[in-house]
Chains A and B, each alone.
Chain A
Amino acid sequence: MAVAADYIVETRDLTKEFKGFTAVSGVSLRVRRHSIHALIGPNGAGKTTCFNLLTKFLVPTSGRIFFNQRDITHAQPAAVARLGMVRSFQISAVFSHLSVLENVRVALQRRRGGYFHFWRSDRILDQLNDQVMDLLQSVGMTGDVHRLAGELSYGRKRALEIATTLALDPEMLLLDEPMAGMSSEDVLLIAALIRRISANRTILMVEHNLNVVAELSDRISVLKQGRILAEGTYQEVSNNPEVVEAYMGSPDD
């Protein structure tokens, strides 16, 4: 299987049922290393569920998942993150009672180690502050360093979440609607950031903003009712009559 190594993530016949309702149905997805791959589809298509399956936040009903040729179908979610596949959440997930700085630092701490040291002062973590500032700079948030994350606007929370995810320096990022709720300026900033970090990383992203998808993605998979409807470049996918129909048929897009 010489080609296998070209793909960082591969799923085979991935299926997830919720009490008889099939949210993800026989999805076989392959994500090429160092590419930006978009997962799109109407509301309720099963995109977030796919993310939950890949990162092991949900256990699949059937099917297998491989990350770097390694079968992770039965791995724990924290272990998958440590292997280098890190996700963000559709509903912004920050540590609201920690400062912006501490939010990013908690992620850096995981790589630094020593996180069980309960007898030491957290002042030793100040060594990480320079790195934190660099990361916050990349998402344009240096002005908010000492604010509590819970006080930020929705768009800023999303940006903070991306900085926190990047702090882990993951081989692969799964971004669930990273630009939802952002101002158009921030959308441009984050799009540029995603492009920049994709140089030596792989990104799988769910995004409703089709301009962003067209601009960034190397490859697109269209999901509808839990199944992959089409796959290809933006050109190929947007000319596919089934895809056009799926989008016209949905009330939101």
Chain B
Amino acid sequence: MGGLWGKRERLAMLLLLLLALVAPFLVYPVFLMKGLCFALFASAFNLLLGYSGLLSFGHAMFFGFAAYVTAHMGKVWGVNPEWAILGGVVTAAALGLLTGWLAIRRTGIYFAMVTLAFAQMMYFVAIQAPFTHGEDGIQGVPRGRLFGFIDLGESLTLYYFVLLVFVASLWFLNRVVQSPFGQVLKAIRDNEQRAISLGYAVNRFKLLAFVLSAAFSGLAGSMKCQVFQLASLADVHWHSSGEVVLMTLLGGIGSLMGPAVGAFLVVSIENYFAEAGAWVTIIQGGIFVFCVLLFRAGIIGTLSQWLKGLYSGVGKA
């Protein structure tokens, strides 16, 4: 788990960043932005699953409700995007605090069930509440001007904004993992009883991790709303909660880039096989089964194990 910032990794990161900078000239920017939003969502989810060992099955509520709030603030109140996004993040964090406070008293499958139950309740709220506009969702949200003067209507400008938010968030999430707090979190994940015996009130650490994860999931939802100018029921549906689990497991839990890679993979599959209709789900399922069987530790996890083996092999020769 350590050595995230070795020389090789640093170089790989730099190359990825360069690639991301030129990517919109090669690939359709909206597709890239969608990928980045889900990559952020999966990375936020990974903070909880990979570093706290908590499997939430209700993260769609943070993603989806942040999108609703951003859409409402941007469209009805007409505030600048930065405030609309902040509103979404704060909403998600508050929801996370409430859900987390009740869910962390349970562990394992019961934890997942409490989060799912909450998400279903919020889905019901989304159907019933007038401000979400039921089946229609909130459409035609203006992209607006960032800080009042940067026009996000420009697709390229928007792309670089989304990229900046993604990179900054990933940096921050990585910092959380490699902070004094992150150390205790990893200890709790490894052996909760021992952490308690050292005098740590473990539930507070889990709750903070949950709230941080919810807040960044919210940020992802708000950014997606910013890109697609839409907040809809699809984002709060349990299907979204399942998808983020899939992305994270596919890419590899407990690694920095794993969940992002998983997210891009899933989004690409959906895009590529869009015409295949219902077959998308089956193809996705097939690829998932294939990856799980082939890459035990997720794509990134297995790749780095393989590289490590390769390099140590070279070292011995």
A248 at the interface (CB under 8 A from B): no
Contact with A along B180-224 (1 / 0, CB 8 A): 111110110111011111111110110010001000000000000
**Chain A interface, number of residues (Cβ within 8 angstroms):** 39
Chain B residues whose C-beta falls within 8 Å of the C-beta of A95 in the assembled complex: 186-187, 190-191, 194-195
State whether A96 touches B197 (Cβ < 8 A): no
Chain A residues whose C-beta falls within 8 Å of the C-beta of B182 in the assembled complex: 118, 122
A26 → chain B, closest Cβ, in Å?
Answer: 26
A110 at the interface (CB under 8 A from B): yes
Chain B residues whose C-beta falls within 8 Å of the C-beta of A122 in the assembled complex: 178-180, 182-183
Q: Which residue from chain A places its CB closest to the CB of B188 in the assembled complex? A: A95
Known: A118-B182, A122-B179. A98 touches B187 (CB 8 A): yes
State whether A125 touches B175 (Cβ < 8 A): no
Chain A residues whose C-beta falls within 8 Å of the C-beta of B176 in the assembled complex: 118-119
Chain A residues whose C-beta falls within 8 Å of the C-beta of B194 in the assembled complex: 89, 93-95
Distance, CA A122 to CA B178, complexed state (A): 6
Distance, CA A57 to CA B202, complexed state (A): 14
B110 → chain A, closest Cβ, in Å?
Answer: 20
A55 at the interface (CB under 8 A from B): yes
Chain B residues whose C-beta falls within 8 Å of the C-beta of A99 in the assembled complex: 2
Chain B residues whose C-beta falls within 8 Å of the C-beta of A82 in the assembled complex: 199
Q: Which of A74-130 contact B (CB under 8 A)?
A: 76-79, 81-82, 86-89, 93-99, 102-103, 105-107, 109-110, 114-122, 124-125
A168 at the interface (CB under 8 A from B): yes
Chain B residues whose C-beta falls within 8 Å of the C-beta of A88 in the assembled complex: 197
Chain B residues whose C-beta falls within 8 Å of the C-beta of A105 in the assembled complex: 183
Distance, CA A124 to CA B2, complexed state (A): 16
A164 at the interface (CB under 8 A from B): yes
B255 → chain A, closest Cβ, in Å?
Answer: 13
B182 → chain A, closest Cβ, in Å?
Answer: 7
Chain B residues whose C-beta falls within 8 Å of the C-beta of A87 in the assembled complex: 197
Chain B's interface: helix, strand, loop or mixed, by majority?
helix
Q: Which residue from chain A places its CB closest to the CB of B200 in the assembled complex? A: A78
Q: Which residue from chain A places its CB closest to the CB of B172 in the assembled complex? A: A119
B1 at the interface (CB under 8 A from A): yes
Distance, CA A200 to CA B172, complexed state (A): 44
Distance, CA A125 to CA B181, complexed state (A): 11
Distance, CA A124 to CA B212, complexed state (A): 22
Partner of B180, one of A55, A81, A107, A125: A125
B300 → chain A, closest Cβ, in Å?
Answer: 17
Known: A97-B190, A106-B184, A125-B183. A168 touches B196 (CB 8 A): no
Known: A95-B186, A95-B190, A97-B190. A77 touches B179 (CB 8 A): no
Q: Which of B69-87 contact A (CB under 8 A)?
A: none
B278 → chain A, closest Cβ, in Å?
Answer: 41
Chain A residues whose C-beta falls within 8 Å of the C-beta of B202 in the assembled complex: 78
Q: Which residue from chain A places its CB closest to the CB of B176 in the assembled complex? A: A118
Known: A115-B184, A119-B175. A110 touches B200 (CB 8 A): yes
State whether B200 touches A115 (Cβ < 8 A): yes
Q: Which residue from chain A places its CB closest to the CB of B190 in the assembled complex? A: A95
State whether A76 touches B198 (Cβ < 8 A): no
Chain A residues whose C-beta falls within 8 Å of the C-beta of B204 in the assembled complex: 116
Distance, CA A57 to CA B204, complexed state (A): 18
A73 → chain B, closest Cβ, in Å?
Answer: 18
Chain A residues whose C-beta falls within 8 Å of the C-beta of B179 in the assembled complex: 117-122
Q: Which A residues are within 8 Å of any B CB, using their own CB?
A: 55, 57, 76-79, 81-82, 86-89, 93-99, 102-103, 105-107, 109-110, 114-122, 124-125, 164, 168
Pick 15 A–B contacts, CB within 8 A, sort by A.
A57-B193, A93-B194, A95-B186, A97-B189, A106-B184, A106-B198, A116-B204, A116-B205, A118-B180, A119-B176, A121-B178, A122-B182, A125-B180, A168-B198, A168-B199
Beyond the given pairs A106-B183, A118-B176, A118-B182, 18 more chain A to chain B contacts, judged by CB atoms under 8 angstroms and listed by A's residue number, are A77-B196, A78-B199, A81-B197, A87-B197, A88-B197, A89-B193, A94-B190, A94-B194, A96-B190, A98-B186, A105-B183, A115-B180, A118-B180, A118-B212, A119-B172, A122-B178, A122-B183, A164-B198
Name the 5 nearest CB pairs between A and B, nearest first: A81-B199, A118-B181, A93-B194, A95-B190, A82-B199
